[in-house]
Amino acid sequence: MLPSSLPALTLLLALGHCLRGEHPSSNSTCRHDYCVLGAGPAGLQIGYFLSHSQRDYIILERNSGPGSFFNIYPRHRKLISINKIYTGRQNREFNLRHDWNSLLSHKPDLLFQRVSTQLYPDADDLPRYLSLFAKELDLKVQYGVDIGKIWASEDGDHGGRSYTLIDQHGLEYSCRVLLVATGLWVPEEVKFFGSELVEGYESIPVDPEEYQDQAVLILGKGNSAFETAQSILGRASRIHLYSPNPVRLAWQTHYVGDLRAVNNELLDTYQLKSLDGLVEGGLEEIAIVKYSPEKKASGKEKKGDRKDRKGRGQLYLTLADLLQENNGNGSSGITAATLPGYHNDNFSLRQPYDRVIRCLGFRFNFSIFDSSARPPCSSMARGRFPGVTAWYEGKRTPGLFVLGAAAHSRDYRTSAGGFIHGFRYMIRSVHRVLEHRYHGKTWPATKLQTTQLLSWLLKRVNEASGPYQMFGMLADVILLRGSYCEYLEEFPIQALAQLTNLSGHQVTEQGLLVLIMQYGLNRTDTLGPGRAESEWTRAWKSNFLHPVLYYYSRLPTEQDMKYRPVGWPLPRPKAIHHIIEDFLTEWDGPISHSQPLRRFLEHCLQTDLRAFYAESCFLFSLTYTEPPLFCRLGYLKKQGIVGKSKQWQPSQEEGVMADDDESRTSQEENSLPEYLSEAEPFVTSGMN
């Protein structure tokens, strides 16, 4: 009797949870402002921001704990996300540049290093960390809720759309904003003749002994393919990887989704000719067939024939147009003439295989969406992702936002938006969009005096992790206002034309600056001689990650964004400045970094941005009708920078300043605004 009552008990508990909500309208509908679908890294990250801003939300997860994808994948249990816990720095923001697994929160110790100190952690550590994150922040997660259908309808109460989700018990959840954070978990498959003979990455044995002395063909050349190959490298007799494109190495492309060095041991055995190899060819044109060559009259097998492995038979790769007849099991009707080796005795893949394994990645699950709520397929990556706008709202599905790995179509193969260390910042940007659209809160901005802009820019390029990780995608936008400016952090630059609508900030006739991190457009040998520039006058030829400033006298339009130069993240500006790439990624040199940047800002702002000691400002005030801006905003308002204590002496002797340590300490502390105290070293480096 007890087992049969469990479904009813689960439903009652779910109903009880809904009835405790703020807006229950019936016994079967749970209403919230925000529904988050999925309790993986992306779902918990947006959940934190909603919780921190005290919004009405619920996170729905079909499994019994967060991050369930990582309970299975990667199959061989080693993550390729860096967990570098020793950087020689104490700056938390800087350290996040090298921590690819932690989520963002207000708790400085809620980091992934609490569960692992390994550079490449075990996959089981990630669900443990996510559980810790959800528990310590008391996030509203409801587990065991398997959403099977989602549809949209007009919401008469709010004058817009609402989304309804129904779970396995028939319980409905209704919300006006749906945040989809389910990731990519449906295995990508390509249909061809004999594809039913292929094993999937999701179900293959992970014990290397299962592959002892077997010939293995792997379809794919991504990290899952190489991860699989590496795990059986010491047991399989030969391993071949086959896909349409050559292998892409992450250290060449700067895209972390390409092949990582931690998985690339097979490249050694390929290039050093130890039976393994890579082959290019289309997947739709191939066929996998079972074929057993006829034995010689003596009853012995032909030379080169292999014994069947556990009854699987010998698998050959051939071309579909060579088959005389297409049949379901790929076995009958197969002759030697249907194999490429019969026509070309030097065909690369002419030998039989014991196993063929599919490692083609994953795709988004569109099946749960009704036509009224289903976002279209993206044109990127063979439609594996849903199509989203530049602010990650589903195209043709207003109020439905896609977050995390599933939103990677916006920066596929160009940045890190498909990975935790990238999308955690993009999710923060989406939350700011939500705060403005639904709650009237403008994008957070720091008001700076124009003379302080140089110091703040240097602080950001040396510490900020958001633009550093989401290079080419997230940028700091500086709205110029004459003697001051408004500094907006981490705005999605593909939505720059919609800046006012998304942030609530206006662009004036003074224009704007955009600070972005980007790699050079000139392809180079990333390990060859001359791979980097060191002379600041040639900063525009930098190849590695470096800061770039764009100056616009007006906000670029959608047309400008659409027809920007090929490879450029932004339209052609009125002025542009590259800060020379730096081997240490420390852009604080007074000659190579600070001074060229200051002169660029002076050119754009048409004002002198040099910093002066109080004595110099005093002389300028006596000899010029309009002293430099630094003196007007600082010294003439009884502020300024004094280099040595003895320089206070003349003012003290004349009785202008008090001659006591307490007064001197107060003046020194107030020489810079409080919010610039951390940037003070960059102020002094900018004085020329």
- CA–CA distance from 504 to each of 267, 390, 445, 557, 625 (Å)? 51, 17, 11, 17, 38
Domain that holds residue 352: 195-293+312-324+335-358
Is 141 domain-assigned? yes
- Any idea which of 315-319, 621-625, 653-657 has the lowest mean pLDDT? 653-657
More confident residue, 668 or 470: 470
Q: Are residues 450 and 594 in the same domain?
A: yes
* pLDDT in the model for residue 648: 55
Please tell me the predicted confidence (pLDDT) of residue 157.
Answer: 61
Task: Please state the length of the chain.
Answer: 688
Instruction: For residue 623, tell me if it sits in a domain.
Output: no
Q: Is the pLDDT of residue 587 over 90?
A: yes
Angle at 120 (CA atoms; ends 209, 417), nearest 5 degrees: 115
pLDDT band at 98 (very low <50, low <70, confident <90, very high): very high
Count of beta carbons in the 10 Å neighbourhood of residue 319: 17
What tokens does 441 get? 């809160």
Q: Indicate the SS3 state at residue 530.
A: coil
- Does some domain include residue 2? no
Residues 6+ apart with CB under 8 A from 129: 67, 101, 102, 112, 114, 115, 116
Q: Which residue has the higher pLDDT, 605 or 620?
A: 605
pLDDT in tens, 371-397: 999 999 998 888 999 999 999 999 999
On the question of pLDDT at 430 being above 80, the answer is yes
Closest CA to 184 of 378, 393, 436: 378
Give the burial class of 66: count Cβ atoms within 10 A of its Cβ; 0-12 exposed, 13-18 middle, 19 or more buried: buried
Of 605, 627, 662, which residue constitutes the final position of a domain?
605
Residues 369 and 507 in one domain: no
Say what the pLDDT of residue 28 is.
72
Task: Classify residue 591 by its DSSP letter.
Answer: I
**Mean pLDDT, range 12-25, rounded to an integer:** 44
Q: What is the mean pLDDT of residues 624-634?
A: 82
Task: State the pairing for strand pair 57-61/29-37.
Answer: parallel
Domain-located, residue 112: yes
**Over 50: is that where the pLDDT of 680 sits?**
no
- Residue 466 CB contacts under 8 Å (≥ 6 apart), including other chains: 425, 428, 474, 489, 490
End residue of a domain, out of 605, 622, 643: 605
pLDDT at position 99, please? 98
Average pLDDT value for residue range 12-28: 46
As a whole number, mean pLDDT of residues 44-49 equals 98
Co-location of 418 and 457 in the same domain: no
- One domain, residues 570 and 533: yes
Q: Which residues pair with 475 in a beta bridge?
A: 491
Residue 22 lies in a domain: no
Summarised one tens digit per residue, pLDDT across range 273-327 is 999 999 999 999 999 998 876 543 344 444 444 444 444 568 999 998 888 554 4
pTM of the shown model: 0.87
Task: Over range 538-567, report the average pLDDT.
Answer: 96
* Same domain as 460, residue 400: no
Q: Is residue 655 part of a domain?
A: no
Which pLDDT score, from 0 to 100, does residue 158 have? Answer: 59
Parallel, antiparallel or unpaired: strands 186-187 and 362-363: antiparallel
Q: Tell me the one-letter amino acid at 4.
A: S
CB atoms within 10 A of CB 272: 8
- Least confident piece of the model among 181-190, 203-212, 302-311, 621-630: 302-311
Q: How would you write 477-514 as a 3-class SS string?
A: EEEECCCEEEEEEEEEHHHHHHHHHHHCCCCCCCCEEE
pLDDT digits (tens, 9 = 90+) for 494-526: 999 999 999 999 999 999 999 999 999 877 788
- 593: in domain: yes
Looking at residue 478, what is its pLDDT? 98
Confidence of residue 444 (pLDDT cuts 50, 70, 90): very high
118 plus 54 within the same structural domain: yes
Same domain, 349 and 200: yes
Angle 370-373-377 from CA coordinates, rounded to 5°: 95
Give residue 364's pLDDT: 97
Q: Which of 228-232, 303-307, 536-540 has the lowest mean pLDDT?
A: 303-307
- At 9, the pLDDT band (50, 70, 90 cuts) reads very low
Which range is least confidently modeled, 258-262, 313-317, 678-682? 678-682
* pLDDT of the residue at 673: 45
d(CA 353, CA 315): 5
pLDDT (mean) for 244-263: 95
| Domain-located, residue 73 | yes
CA angle 285–290–293, rounded 5-degree value: 115
Last residue of a domain, one of 431, 465, 481: 431
Average pLDDT over residues 102-124: 97
Return the pLDDT at 522. Answer: 78
Helix axes 453-463, 595-605, angle to 10 degrees: 130
Q: Calculate the average pLDDT of the chain.
A: 87
Q: Are residues 507 and 596 in the same domain?
A: yes
Determine phi and psi for 515, rounding to 5 degrees: -105, 125
Query: 141 and 71 in one domain?
Result: yes
Total domains in the fold of the chain? 3
- Is pLDDT of 437 > 50? yes
Residues 401 and 407: their CA atoms lie apart, in Å, by 9
Element of type H or E holding 558: helix 558-562
352 with 391, same domain: the answer is: no
Which is more confident, 32 or 19?
A: 32
User: CA-CA distance, 277 to 272, in Å (whole number)?
Assistant: 10
pLDDT of 15 higher than 80: no
Distance spanning both ends of the chain, measured CA to CA: 84
Alpha-carbon distances, residue 231 vs 222, 225, 251, 278 (angstroms): 14, 10, 22, 17
217 in Cβ contact with 357 (< 8 Å): yes
Does residue 76 share a domain with residue 55? Answer: yes
According to the per-residue pLDDT averaged within each range, which of 16-30, 317-331, 341-355, 469-483 is highest?
Answer: 469-483
Same structural domain, 371 and 354 = no
The CATH number given to whatever domain includes residue 174 is: 3.50.50.60
Burial class, 565, CB count within 10 angstroms (exposed 0-12 / middle 13-18 / buried 19+): exposed
